[in-house]
Amino acid sequence: MKTDIEIARSVRMKPVTEVARQLGIAPDDLELYGKYKAKVPLSYIDREKRKNAKLILVSAISPTPAGEGKTTVSIGLSQALNRIGKRSCVVLREPSLGPVFGLKGGATGGGLSQVLPMEDINLHFTGDFAAIEKAHNLLAALIDNNIQSKTRSLGLDPRTISWKRVMDMNDRSLRHIVAGLGGTASGVPRETGFDITAASEVMAILCLATSIADLKRRLGNIFVGFTYDKKPVYARDLHAEGAMAALLKDAIKPNLVQTLEGTPALIHGGPFANIAQGTNTVVATEMSLSLTDYTVTEAGFGFDLGAEKFLDIKCRAAGLSPNAVVLVATVRALKYHGGQPLKELKTPDVEALERGIVNLQKHIENIGLFGLSPVVAINKFATDSDEELQFIRDYCTMRGVPCAVADVWGQGGAGTEELAGLVAETADHCCPQFKPLYPLDEPVTRKVETIAKNIYGAEAVDYTPKAKNALKRIADLGLDALAICMAKTQKSLSDNPALLGRPKDFVITVRDIEIAAGAGFLIPITGEIMRMPGLPEEPAAEHIDIDDEGNLSGLF
Amino acid sequence: MKTDIEIARSVRMKPVTEVARQLGIAPDDLELYGKYKAKVPLSYIDREKRKNAKLILVSAISPTPAGEGKTTVSIGLSQALNRIGKRSCVVLREPSLGPVFGLKGGATGGGLSQVLPMEDINLHFTGDFAAIEKAHNLLAALIDNNIQSKTRSLGLDPRTISWKRVMDMNDRSLRHIVAGLGGTASGVPRETGFDITAASEVMAILCLATSIADLKRRLGNIFVGFTYDKKPVYARDLHAEGAMAALLKDAIKPNLVQTLEGTPALIHGGPFANIAQGTNTVVATEMSLSLTDYTVTEAGFGFDLGAEKFLDIKCRAAGLSPNAVVLVATVRALKYHGGQPLKELKTPDVEALERGIVNLQKHIENIGLFGLSPVVAINKFATDSDEELQFIRDYCTMRGVPCAVADVWGQGGAGTEELAGLVAETADHCCPQFKPLYPLDEPVTRKVETIAKNIYGAEAVDYTPKAKNALKRIADLGLDALAICMAKTQKSLSDNPALLGRPKDFVITVRDIEIAAGAGFLIPITGEIMRMPGLPEEPAAEHIDIDDEGNLSGLF
């Protein structure tokens, strides 16, 4: 069997100028990055035109460690829509190097549903992550430089600085550090740390910004810490937002590439809906809506994480509303939720499937809470038995939920046409404006409780003393009306990765709340979730290589 | 008077495909980064052809804090060579974001001698620095992950790890940190720190590598630290070199842009010859030699730093030899060396000039030590008096050193034709193979002494106890035969920034010696030089801005 990278390399790509032409973009307007990648100027966003296009959100059940293939289904679905005569573009998030070098590998789909050139997209792509990282860390350097300053000090209390640094790397040793050691010439010692770049507030700001002016305004609003006399300090007080925005001048433009079937793909914005907002950029979504009829986009991990944030944060802020929600499930994952061990998921077991289907059930119910209708997509694996597939189909049919099996990996668009037909029909006919889950003007604890109880199914929410202090700080700063961006494990509907299926009678523990005033949300950190991952015992990096001609291997 | 960025923006650039055509590069072989930047494949290096082309090295006297305009002279000289009918390409180093956001600003020349597009080159350019930073920090993450590992530990002693992390930022607070805090899940606590990316050994390796195979070999040879039973550990023991090289797959290709006069420029590799090797890449130099008749290249700071390393490290490793050495001097800097205060440098003062000319004298003598002949280029400022300029001309004439005044800033190539004529004549007629200053097989202390006494003019070299331990470690590892890459202030020929002119009777203090086994050199760290700079009281970043149309300001 061919690997993903072998399949990718066997395809003859179109020049990206030709992909652009399909979308009505003049080749001369592109900023090329090689022959197969390009940035598209924001002038291709047409906010009137985008209102008539259909937005399809692809989400998933609570995933197994390997993921449910949400990206692969999104790509396959968009390929299939184009096959059945519906002009479609898939809008994805950019991969993080953390998983590429860690455990999970790249994030460009798989098999016959991939975006190309996969090596480039999975490594530095067009440099957006590097630019975000640099803008973030420039603010950190300006903060520490101001603390060190003799003549221009704002009186920042180093113990109150909440702005950390970021690096796009799974590097657990940087989570908690003491910096500024080495004497008076090398800064003021203080506790700080690094998050992974996808979790940067600058990433969230880039994802939500609608223009350069909006980008700069949001960057200026980043909360930094307090002075010794308890006055809040924002990035604008350090005159940081101009240089930060300058660093992002290209990163704000969406990246155009192609799928394995030569259909257009916009890839822009960061992943990790467990520890960040984890949706692609507003401008990429709007651009696709402006240029095609059916935009297929994804939000990270299960519906409880990525999709909830996609709706309550991104769609609310940008005035978007999906016309269909695709819920990706696999036989394997549902059996895993039913108690079948990871190593045995290839063995048919309808009983485990029956026990695990409650996870799908809960996510279907959650979609309804936003006033939206689901389409279930079963991402087919070669080891799935007919009986197992039929069980899920029957389950959905009984509940009136459209459902299709899609062989996105093995057959690409050709294996996804049934799903594409269902999705197009749903999107064409069923398009109410979605209802956000909570109003912004409620108290923070009420908003968190609404998410925890209604979406996760929790009994209650508990706050550690540190989180309670954070609540008080947020109130003092007058930032109660921000949206909520939960940091929670993706492995369970609860904050405990071990609770599979549809857990009940559990309490969500908020151990801290970070402030992202520029992005416009608060980040309650639950359970043991970390905003800087670590590498596994045997990192994928050890198997990545390049030959003398520059060909990569071991990426997948 | 127009600023550099205003001048740059007033010029209509050629498409980079046209610049490539001038060099005989097929447009289809380019990897475009927008319309005006491109990467050129290594297949355009022709190692036979390059031997017939002339290599011109531009260096300088000990600079004032603002620099002597070495980059600007290099650009103006290459523009002028093309004007007088000599096919020339200028080969420069990529700017670091540290100075861009700090004090010094960009590094793309100035006035009518600039490389374009200056905003892009000064910010992320084609992502090379980001790729180098990522490759460097991937190794760091793999090291800490191995220390944390339960099943695959190499037994690395955390107290012996010499591999730090890097960030392209002036961030003094990261010089000395304790990482790995926060309990057993977050690594093992240990002292470490960050250098600026230009000082990364990966940068040096990229600058010296002649192919992907050579790159990988060198990356594998990076020395990491010792196991608890005192065995050395290299990057190859962590299987890091494949993934590191994969991250550098595009970074290893030289970047093609243009000068303000539309002549070709290759910009590739990192700056900072005070704390790093600080020369552009071997492959860019070789590519220019393969494609044009006169390659103008620069090495950082004074001849004592950049040029010594260019010759003893880069040229020796790559089998290159310059055909002419241009020594850039300014009236202002020579007066500064003669004791005139920084703020008064605009006032004519021939007596200060007479006192300061000894700095020029020493650098001229140093060029002779390599068996090479200098051409002095006086980089003209509007405030220079005729008497002052004549004084330097006379000084050179008396010593038989060709000398020309060049108005590179005010007139570009047109103001640099006299210099171009002298340089072309020198290069055409005077091309002995240079002699390295020291043989590699001498003891480390002997090699350091040779540089310190002969080039700097020191009386002796002193080693701190830490440096003596390092010498012993190097001997134990069998790495004595590596080249020497001094880390020393650029402000003085000595290791004390306050000693201007031509200091005498001073001792060079080596306080540590870092090992760069993959790059092939040892780094004696002298005086108080830091490999991670800090921001100034008022960082340039505060004045950088971007408007709604994406136009930058405040970069210069």
Closest CA–CA distance from residue B259 to any residue of chain A (Å): 20
Indicate the length of chain B as a whole number. 556
- Known binding-site residues of B for ATP equal 64-71
CB–CB of A546/A186 below 8 Å?
Answer: no
> Average pLDDT over chain A, rounded to whole?
95
**Closest residue in A to B129 (Cα–Cα):** A130
Residue type at position B143: I
Is B32 in Cβ contact with A249 (below 8 Å)?
Answer: no
User: Model confidence at A107, in pLDDT bands (50, 70, 90)?
Assistant: confident
- Just list the catalytic residues of B: 70, 72, 93, 104, 273, 301, 381, 409
Alpha helices, DSSP H, located in A221-330: 241-247, 282-291, 308-309, 316-318
Are B177 and A178 inside 8 Å of each other by CB? yes
User: Residues B241, B485: contact at Cβ < 8 Å?
Assistant: no
- Residue found under tokens 């507003």: A282
Q: Is the peptide bond before B117 cis (omega within 30 degrees of 0)?
A: yes
CA B238/CA B518 separation, integer angstroms: 15
- Averaged over B72-94, what is the pLDDT? 98
The gap from C-alpha B255 to its chain's centroid, in whole angstroms, comes to 16
Which of A39, A54, A70, A355 is catalytic? The answer is A70
Question: The tokens of B476 are what?
Answer: 């134990």
The question of whether A134 is a catalytic residue gets the answer: no
**Cβ contact, residue pair B174, A171, below 8 Å:** no
Count CB neighbours of B368 within 10 A: 11
- Report the residue from A182, A243, A548 with minimal CB separation from B213: A548
Distances in Å between the Cα of A70 and the Cα atoms of A61, A306, A348 are: 10, 11, 22
Give yes or no for residue B431 having a pLDDT over 70: no
Angle made by CA atoms A12, A17, A19, in degrees to the nearest 5:
65
pLDDT classification of B51: cutoffs 50, 70, 90: confident
B88-92 and B177-179 strand pairing: unpaired
Q: What residues have CB less than 8 Å from A37, skipping those under 6 apart?
A: A16, A117, A120, A121, A125, A126, A255, A256, A257
- Amino acid found at B237: D
Strand partners, A192: A177
A197 is in an annotated binding site: no
Average pLDDT over residues B350-359: 96
Q: Which residues does chain B have within 8 Å of residue A137's beta carbon, measured at their own beta carbons?
A: 167, 169, 171
The residue ranking higher by pLDDT, B367 or A67, is: B367
A64 is in an annotated binding site: yes
| A273 catalytic per annotation | yes
pLDDT at residue number B472? 97
Task: Say what the ipTM of the complex is.
Answer: 0.95
Q: Measured between alpha carbons, how far is A114 from A261 in angstroms, rounded to an integer?
A: 9
Q: Do A182 and B176 touch (CB under 8 A)?
A: yes
Q: Is A472 a catalytic residue?
A: no
Q: Omega of the bond prior to A117 within 30 degrees of 0, cis?
A: yes
Per residue in A208-232, pLDDT (tens digit) is: 999 999 999 999 999 999 999 999 9
Q: Hey, are the CB atoms on A535 and B177 less than 8 Å from each other? A: no
Q: Which two tokens stand for residue A42?
A: 């924001």
Cβ of B239 and A542 within 8 Å? yes
Sort out which chain A residues have CB atoms less than 8 A from B132's CB and list them: none
Q: What pLDDT, on a 0 to 100 scale, did the predictor assign at position B123?
A: 92
Q: What is the mean pLDDT of residues B457-484?
A: 97
Q: Quote the minimal CA–CA distance from A466 to chain B in Å.
A: 16
Confidence of residue A5 (pLDDT cuts 50, 70, 90): confident
**Closest Cβ opposite residue B535 in set A141, A165, A543:** A141
Residues in chain A closer than 8 A to B152 (CB atoms): 537-538
How far A142 CA sits from the closest chain B CA (Å)?
8
Cβ-contact A134, B124 below 8 angstroms: yes
Mean residue pLDDT of chain B comes to 95
Strand partners, B515: B522
Locate the chain B residue with the closest alpha carbon to A533: B186
3-state secondary structure of A404: strand
Q: Across the interface, which of A31, A123, A144 has its CB nearest the CB of B247? A: A123
| Residues of chain B found within 8 Å of residue A152, distances taken between Cβ atoms | 537-538
- Could you read off the pLDDT of A522-531 as tens digits, one per residue? 999 999 889 9
Distance (Å) from the alpha carbon of A147 to chain B's nearest alpha carbon: 10
Sign of the CA dihedral with A283 first, then A289, A295, and A299 last: positive
A324 given a catalytic annotation: no
**Residue in chain A nearest B253 by alpha carbon:** A550
Alpha-carbon gap, residue B486 to B467, rounded angstroms: 13
Q: pLDDT confidence of A555, banded at 50, 70, 90?
A: confident
Confidence class of residue A105 from pLDDT cuts 50, 70 and 90? low
- The model's pLDDT over B332-343, given as tens digits with 9 standing for 90+, comes to 999 999 999 999
Helix A201-208 and helix A212-220, axial crossing angle in degrees, nearest 10: 150
CB of A282 closer than 8 Å to CB of A207: yes
What's CA A495's distance to the chain center, in Å? 18
User: d(Cα A257, Cα B335) in Å, to the nearest integer?
Assistant: 57
Mutate which of A546, A548, A552 to disrupt the B interface (most B C-beta within 10 Å)?
A: A546
Interface test with A, best of B30, B42, B145, B238 (most A CBs within 10 A): B145
Query: What does the DSSP assignment read for B52-112?
Result: GSEEEEEEESSPPTT---HHHHHHHHHHHHHHTT--EEEEEPPPPHHHHHSSS---SEETT
* Closest CB from A145, A176, A216 relative to B182: A176
Domain spanning A128-247, CATH architecture: 2-Layer Sandwich (3.30)
Instruction: Tell me what the mean pLDDT of segment B9-29 comes to.
Output: 95
Query: What is residue B520's three-state secondary structure?
Result: coil
Rounded to the nearest angstrom, the minimum Cα separation between A398 and chain B is: 46
- Summarised one tens digit per residue, pLDDT across range B224-268 is 999 999 999 999 999 999 999 999 999 999 999 999 999 999 999
User: Nearest to residue A350, comparing CAs of A389, A381, A382?
Assistant: A389
Give A-chain residues touching B545 at CB under 8 angstroms. Answer: 242-243, 245-246
What residue segments make up the domains of chain B, in order of their start? 4-126+251-429, 128-247, 444-526
- Contact (CB<8Å) A141/B538: no
Mean pLDDT of B292-321: 95
CATH class for the domain made up of B4-126+251-429:
alpha beta
Catalytic residue among A223, A301, A303, A506: A301
Segment B186-209 mean pLDDT: 97
Cβ–Cβ below 8 Å for B151 and A537: yes
Q: Is B141's CB within 8 Å of A170's CB?
A: yes
By Cβ distance, the residue of A140, A178, A180 closest to B181 is A178
Question: What pTM, to 2 d.p., does this model score?
Answer: 0.96
Cβ A400 vs Cβ A435: under 8 Å: no
Query: Is A175 in Cβ contact with B187 (below 8 Å)?
Result: yes
Residues in chain B closer than 8 A to A249 (CB atoms):
119, 123, 546, 550, 552
Q: Determine the straight-line distance between the first and last CA of chain A, rounded to whole angstroms.
A: 13
Confidence at B271, pLDDT banded by 50, 70, 90 = confident
Integer-rounded Cα Rg, in Å, for chain A is 23
Sign of dihedral through CA atoms A16, A18, A21, A23? Answer: negative
- Does A124 score more than 70 pLDDT? yes
* Contact at CB, A187 and B168, closer than 8 angstroms: no
Angle at B162 between CA B161 and CA B164, to 5 degrees: 100
Predicted pLDDT of residue A129 = 97
Q: Write down the residue that tokens 């980089």 correspond to.
A: B379
Span B154-185, pLDDT tens digits: 999 999 999 999 999 999 999 999 999 999 99
Q: What is the number of other CB atoms lying within 10 angstroms of the CB of residue B449?
A: 17
* Cα–Cα distance, A297 to A152 (Å, whole number): 46
Taking each helix axis from N to C end, the angle separating B201-208 and B128-148, rounded to the nearest 10 degrees, works out to 130
CATH of domain A444-526: 3.10.410.10
Say what the pLDDT of residue A431 is.
66
For A9-44, the pLDDT digits (tens) are: 899 999 999 999 999 999 999 999 999 999 999 999
CA-based max dimension of chain B: 75
Chain B: residue nearest A125 by CA?
A: B127
CA distance linking residue A219 with residue A39, whole number of Å: 22
Q: Could A550 and B177 be called an inter-chain contact, meaning their C-beta atoms sit closer than 8 Å?
A: no
Q: Using an 8 Å CB-CB cutoff, list chain A residues near B181.
A: 175-178, 191
pLDDT digits (tens, 9 = 90+) for B99-110: 899 986 678 999
Task: Determine whether the interchain pair A169/B137 forms a contact, defined as Cβ–Cβ distance below 8 Å.
Answer: yes
Minimum CA–CA partner of B124 in chain A: A131
Q: Give the distance from residue A86's alpha carbon to the nearest chain B alpha carbon, in angstroms.
A: 31
Q: Which of B130, B151, B545 sits opposite A242 (nearest CB)?
A: B545
In terms of residues, how long is chain A? 556
Q: Residue B151, class by beta-carbon neighbours within 10 Å (0-12 exposed, 13-18 middle, 19+ buried)?
A: exposed
